[in-house]
Amino acid sequence: MFKLLIALSALVVISSAYGPAVRATKGEVWPKLQQEEKTSDYFIVRPFTFRFQGLADIGCPRLLDDAFTRYWLIIATEASLEHRGRRAEMGKKRTKFWQLDESFLGYLKRLKVEVSDKCTDDALPDFGDNENYTLTVNASVSTLSAQTIWGALRGLETFSQLIYLEQDALVINATTITDFPRFSFRGLHLDTSRHFLPVNIILQTLDGMAYNKFNVFHWHLTDDQSFPYKSRVYPELSEKGAYHPVSKVFEPSDIAKVIEYARVRGIRVIPEFDTPGHTSSWGASHPELLTTCYSNNQPNGNLGPMDPSKDTTYDFINNLFTEVVGVFPDSYFHIGGDEVDFSCWQSNPDITTFMSDNNISSYEGLENYFIQHVVDLLDKLNSKYLVWEEVFVNGVTLPNTTLVHVWRGEGFDTLRDVTKAGKYGVFSSCWYLDHLSSGSDWQKFYECEPLNFDGTDEQKKLVLGGEACMWTESVNEYNVMPRVWPRACATAEKLWSAESVNDFGAARPRLEEHVCRLNLRGIAAQPPNGPGVCL
């Protein structure tokens, strides 16, 4: 008993100070801005007289109006808290705090939004988009300027975060901002196979992504445990391979909804259909795709990775991936390729014969043979691809347009090798959201610098960014939001803000504010810093 007490008290850091562990900032932006000059002069925002104004000839009025509506609602919702407070005071007359204040510059009436590139309402975010913007809050009619609509969306997010509640009003300090992302690829990965996640949760996740300036949603659609994607050419894949053929599948209309919801927020959707491993669920309807495993020269009843020796395997993948490339408009496709278990291939005599017939001397070589077929197919379909790092490490021949997704170990040696070979890297090793520890465990995500590897400047330029990964073995729709948020916010800041923004202590008060902001906007983010309160 005594021992147990000692063990417990070692785990629990007892703080007895009155009040929250970390006091929230007011009107600070997450992820941190590249350049900002803020003064203590301020404007008051009154939602019912404030409006956004797009310049007439932008060319994508609907995209812009949708964004204006979203952000106006966010601002008005924050203002409604003020009304609740006021009602509680039952009409007590008080002087408004700003009326006698020299720092008060007036009421913010309009935010003018300028986009210099031509934009259309069906524009798709794509790799390498310019997301730069400038925002000047200096007059009752202030200005947000960007080259692209995507930059304007990032700027609107920033604008909404600058506004904070002070006593009974919404305040925005006079500010001059020039902002741009450090990395162009800022992703969140979500696994919807280990546990099915309903569409409304995916949409909430996209909201959270927009609030953190993420721009890639990596949708890990299928895995061993279930196949929830409802295919038009092979509907039996989800009929047999989903957890439930009706309630645990993504219909074409669901997929379209996710893609559109993401698009208008400037977020790309990259689907992943992992092969040749992680494919047991495909075998529920098409066991012939998978390798028969042997023990003592007899089939042992188990199925392994896809069977790379049969042409029919490639015909099947061909038909399915042709459909998928048509469904997902992004120019990239994640083809997986991780954790292929070679032992089943090794046990199967037909595979052994196939290898000697084709002069393939290793299982890496066999994997290469498989991936080469998939890659050739995607080349034909004009789609580019990401692969998990094993595909590169095992020596598969890949074009330089391939993005190699680094995830194992610390990852730095692999990033070095990938970029040395002239390939692009996307980094996830230190951002696995399924790795839990107690307390403010976003610290470990925050204190990870993706370019912390040995390489030339040229090599470092090939690191396009990274992804926070949410594998869902122990996560379903009831706990996914607090597990992702605010922990993925740490990744978001590493990927957007300057390299010098790396002080955990300095970030804590801003994240304290940001989590309250996320909560207010309906995101079930968990507390970031220990004891505290959102007011």
Ligand X SMILES: *[C@@H]1O[C@H](CO)[C@@H](O)[C@H](O)[C@H]1NC(C)=O
Least distance (Å) from ligand X to the CB of residue 362? 10
Find the binding residues for ligand X in span 38-67 (CB under 6 A): 38-40, 42
Nearer CB in complex with ligand X: 136/318? 136
Contacting range for ligand X; rule: CB under 6 A; set: 32-40, 118-126, 251-259, 305-313: 32-40
Least distance (Å) from ligand X to the CB of residue 400? 4
Per-residue burial over 217-243, b = 16 or more CB atoms within 10 Å of its CB, e = otherwise: bbbbbbbebbbbbbbeebeebbbebbb
Active site residue 339: yes
Interface with ligand X, residue 298, by CB under 6 A: no
- Let me know if 291 is exposed, middle or buried by CB neighbors in 10 A (0-12, 13-18, 19+): buried
**467 DSSP β-pair partners:** 187
Task: Report the DSSP pairing between strands 141-146 and 133-137.
Answer: antiparallel
Nearer CB in complex with ligand X: 101/410? 101
- Let me know if 389 is exposed, middle or buried by CB neighbors in 10 A (0-12, 13-18, 19+): buried
Measure the CA angle with vertex 525, ends 533 and 521; round to 5°.
85
Interface with ligand X, residue 139, by CB under 6 A: yes
Binding residue for ligand X (CB under 6 A) from 95, 296, 400, 438? 400
Q: Are 64 and 57 in contact (CB under 8 A)?
A: no
Interface with ligand X, residue 395, by CB under 6 A: no
Interface with ligand X, residue 243, by CB under 6 A: no
Strands (E), 323-398: 332-336, 384-388
Q: Are 137 and 175 in contact (CB under 8 A)?
A: yes
Count helices and strands (H / E) in the chain.
17, 18
Q: Which amino acid is at 416?
A: R
Least distance (Å) from ligand X to the CB of residue 39? 6
Question: Which candidate in 89, 236, 260, 339 is catalytic?
Answer: 339
Binding residue for ligand X (CB under 6 A) from 9, 69, 103, 312? 103
Nearer CB in complex with ligand X: 40/296? 40
Binding residue for ligand X (CB under 6 A) from 158, 161, 173, 309? 173
Instruction: Give the residue from 516, 432, 531 showing the smallest Cα distance to 211.
Output: 516
Interface with ligand X, residue 531, by CB under 6 A: no
Least distance (Å) from ligand X to the CB of residue 31? 15
Q: Cα torsion at 518, 62, 188, 253 (round to 10°)?
A: 110
Nearer CB in complex with ligand X: 156/344? 156
Residue nearest to ligand X (CB): 422
Binding residue for ligand X (CB under 6 A) from 106, 252, 395, 422? 422
Using CB under 6 A as the binding criterion, the count of chain residues that bind ligand X stands at 16
Q: How far is CA 516 from the centre of its chain?
A: 20
Cite the active site residues: 339
Residues near ligand X, by CB under 6 A = 38-40, 42, 103, 130, 132, 136, 138-139, 143, 173, 180, 359, 400, 422
